[in-house]
Structure 1
Amino acid sequence: MALLDVKDLDVRFAVRGGDLQALRKISFSLDKGERLGLVGESGAGKSVAAFSILNLIAKPGYIAGGQILFEGQDLAAMSDKQLRKIRGNRIAMIFQDPMMTLNPVLTIGTQMVEALKAHRRISTRDARAIALKKLQMVQIPSPDKRLDQYPHELSGGMRQRVIIAIALLLDPEIIIADEPTTALDVTIQAEIMALLLELCEQENVALMLITHDLGVVSQVTQRMLVMYSGRIIEQGPTREIINDPQHPYTQGLINALPQMGEPGARLYQIPGSMPSLSRVPSGCPFNPRCPFATDQCRTSMPNYVHSGNVDVACYEVAKLIEQEQSLQEEDR
């Protein structure tokens, strides 16, 4: 049984004029110690999927259907009191901006001790010792000094290390990292991602990494989900998808990487933009931007087809697979 198993998750936002569907029956799983990447443009639904797991979606958002099974228990059906035992304890989350996560008027040590005391019966002295150990794990210089400092006294990279240390405080089984290096410069980003990967491998913690950076996903994750307009359109082993993307959208994302272009040439970009929730086209949501779109794509959403170890929701891929199978049968 998977550690986390999301089945047909449907998330909506109640607004005037009817509900807007942010996630459309998405399904995926996460095993213990596995590293999973969620990729896609802004507005694809990556962060909504992450927040849904811990039921952190603010109103008017709500989970309209589906299951979020953590060790067989449905998180979507739990009360706030039951969820408090899991949030930050067994499933931890690293948010995009550390200054939005850390309390500016409390010292780092106070915040870490409070987090431990919220979930464990523990003395302040023992909690402080654990906090110090976790700061050492994330390789913060002079960790004993940092415990008595305020967030504004630390650099962006150090604040992000503190957030990772807080996520590790209670030895969680899953860490959800929502674009954890967005506000950092490139060299610090690499250090933080290498640290996160090393800690997950050492502690056998499952990682769900939400990002739009395919370079990071290819280096850190074992499996990946490609999201578009609230749907998972391709999922499978990261290496297979990066080396041989099947869906036209995934192909476009990879072709848009700077290293894929010729020196001096204009960078490739996918024409158009992600549709808003109020204007999602019928059929495959990518059809207005897809060079292979047909009338079928514009009228109905394709089912998943298997291409190697990858699941793809695309009529064009389905046709290619059928043609290949026909040729193989003829050769026999």
Structure 2
Amino acid sequence: MALLSVQNLNVKFGGPFGAITAVNNVSFELQKGERLGIVGESGAGKSITGFAMMNLLNAPGFIDRGKVLFDGQDMVRLNERQLRKIRGNRMAMIFQDPLVTLNPVLTIGQQMVETLMAHRRLRQDEAEFIAIQKLREVYISAPESRLGQYPHELSGGMRQRVIIAIALLLDPDLIIADEPTTALDVTTQADILELLLHLCMANNVGLILITHDLGVVCQLTERVMVMYAGEVVETGKTREVINDPQHPYTQGLISALPQQTLPGTPLKSIAGYMPSLLSLPEGCPFHPRCAYASPECTRERPSLVQYRDASVACHEVNRLHQETLVE
């Protein structure tokens, strides 16, 4: 049985003009210890999918339908007491900005010790010992003294290391990392990503990495899921998707990488903009920006079709594969 199984997940946001679909019919599985990247432009639905998996959506957002099975338990249907036994304990989330995530009026030690004592029957000194050990695991120097410091007294990279330590406090089976290096400089980003990969592999922890950075996905994950306008357009093994992308949107993302552009030539880009969720086009949501769009693309929304180890939602790709089979 998969550690995590997301089935036909649909997330909506209520508004004065009716409900808007932000995540549409998303399905995937994650095995224990596996690492999955979720990529796409801003507004693709990546972070909303992550919050929905933890059942952390705030109004006006709500899960309209679908299942999020974590070790067989449906996160969508659990009550708050049941969810607290899983969140932070077996599932943990790393958010974008550690300065916002950490409580500014509590010391690092207070936040770590309270987390431990809320889930484990521990004495204060036992919880402090574990907190120090976790800070040491993420290579924070003088961890004993860090317990008495406040978040604003630490650098951005140090705060993110603290967040990772807190995520690992209760030895979770799964970590969902939502753009974990957004607020950091490039050098610190590399250190944090290397640390996250090392800790997940050493502890056999599953990882869902939400990002717009394909380079990061290639470095950290085994499988990748590409989202566009709230839908999955391509999924497969990371190396295969990066080296041989099938969906035109994935092809555009990869061709826009600086390393794909010859020196002295303009950077490539995908024409147009992601459509507003208030006015999604008929048919394939990517067709207004797609060089391969046909009349069928403007009428019918493509289904996610599996080819070998990958799945792609594209009429043109489907047609080409059918022609190959006939030949």
Same fold (TM > 0.5): yes
Q: Distance in 1 between matches of 2:149 and 2:163?
A: 14
Using the TM superposition, give the Cα deviation of residue 281 of structure 1 relative to its aligned residue in structure 2, in angstroms: 1.0
Using the TM superposition, give the Cα deviation of residue 174 of structure 1 relative to its aligned residue in structure 2, in angstroms: 0.3
Name the residue aligned to 2:112: 112
Name the residue aligned to 2:205: 205
Q: Distance in 2 between matches of 1:260 and 1:156?
A: 31
Deviations 1:281-313 (A, max 9, x none): 111100100001111111111122233311000
> Is 1:126 aligned with 2:126?
yes
Aligned-residue RMSD, C-alpha: 0.7
Q: Distance in 2 between matches of 1:250 and 1:289?
A: 12
> Bigger shift: 274-283 or 92-101?
274-283
Q: Distance in 2 between matches of 1:305 and 1:64?
A: 24
Gap runs ≥5 in structure 1: 328-332
> Is 1:192 aligned with 2:192?
yes
How does 1:70-85 map onto structure 2 within 5 Å?
A: 70-85=70-85
> Is 1:243 aligned with 2:243?
yes
Q: Distance in 1 between matches of 2:241 and 2:224?
A: 8
Name the residue aligned to 1:330: none
Name the residue aligned to 1:303: 303
Q: State the SS of the aligned residue for 1:242.
A: helix
Name the residue aligned to 2:46: 46
Using the TM superposition, give the Cα deviation of residue 159 of structure 1 relative to its aligned residue in structure 2, in angstroms: 0.3
Name the residue aligned to 1:285: 285
Q: Distance in 2 between matches of 1:305 and 1:175?
A: 28
Deviations 1:303-324 (A, max 9, x none): 2223331100000101110111
AA in 1 matched with 2:46: K
Q: State the SS of the aligned residue for 2:67.
A: strand
AA in 1 matched with 2:195: L
Q: State the SS of the aligned residue for 1:77.
A: coil
Deviations 1:147-189 (A, max 9, x none): 1111111100000000000000000000000000001011100
Q: State the SS of the aligned residue for 1:277.
A: coil
AA in 2 matched with 1:120: R
Q: Distance in 2 between matches of 1:115 and 1:280?
A: 42
Using the TM superposition, give the Cα deviation of residue 122 of structure 1 relative to its aligned residue in structure 2, in angstroms: 0.9
> Bigger shift: 212-221 or 116-125?
116-125
Q: Distance in 2 between matches of 1:320 and 1:179?
A: 35
Q: Distance in 2 between matches of 1:117 and 1:271?
A: 52
Q: Distance in 2 between matches of 1:47 and 1:74?
A: 19
Deviations 1:80-119 (A, max 9, x none): 1111111111100000000111111111001100111111
Q: State the SS of the aligned residue for 1:176.
A: strand
Name the residue aligned to 2:234: 234
Using the TM superposition, give the Cα deviation of residue 273 of structure 1 relative to its aligned residue in structure 2, in angstroms: 1.0
TM-score (norm 2): 0.99
Gap runs ≥5 in structure 2: none
Q: State the SS of the aligned residue for 1:122.
A: coil
Q: Distance in 2 between matches of 1:110 and 1:305?
A: 49
> Is 1:21 aligned with 2:26?
no
Count of aligned pairs: 327
Q: State the SS of the aligned residue for 1:207.
A: strand
Name the residue aligned to 2:140: 140
AA in 1 matched with 2:48: V
Q: Distance in 1 between matches of 2:122 and 2:283?
A: 55
Deviations 1:210-243 (A, max 9, x none): 0000000001000010000010010010010000
Q: State the SS of the aligned residue for 2:27.
A: strand
Q: Distance in 1 between matches of 2:190 and 2:31?
A: 25
Q: State the SS of the aligned residue for 1:21.
A: strand
TM-score (norm 1): 0.97
Q: State the SS of the aligned residue for 2:12.
A: strand
Name the residue aligned to 1:274: 274
Name the residue aligned to 1:312: 312
AA in 2 matched with 1:128: E
Q: Distance in 2 between matches of 1:305 and 1:98?
A: 38
AA in 2 matched with 1:95: F
Q: Distance in 2 between matches of 1:61 and 1:152?
A: 31
Q: Distance in 1 between matches of 2:242 and 2:51?
A: 26
AA in 1 matched with 2:133: K
How does 1:5-20 map onto structure 2 within 5 Å?
A: 5-20=5-20
AA in 1 matched with 2:312: V
